[in-house]
Structure 1
């Protein structure tokens, strides 16, 4: 790919880890859907942050 940063690592993000743990423990359908949405939002935020911290060539 040209000019695109590598995919950010989600492994070290504490917020994302907590959301994933809550999803793993969730039993209600509505709660699971809300957590899945929050996880996707957090991943998008991490990707945005990775793009803004990439040095310009």
Structure 2
């Protein structure tokens, strides 16, 4: 995911599950630019890249 200037805040706008309830798609939206990014939801657990909440 390549970030542009000032893209620091994101919201999850779509999560799609398969028939077994496993996540198959996770879509983020940058709040300032409104750009969308498809990411692996497990990457959100990486605290060196992502911080939950507003800082």
TM-score of the superposed pair, with normalisation by structure 2:
0.26
- Point out the structure with the larger helix share: 1
Higher relative contact order (CA 8 A, sep 6+): 1
| Greater Rg by CA | 1
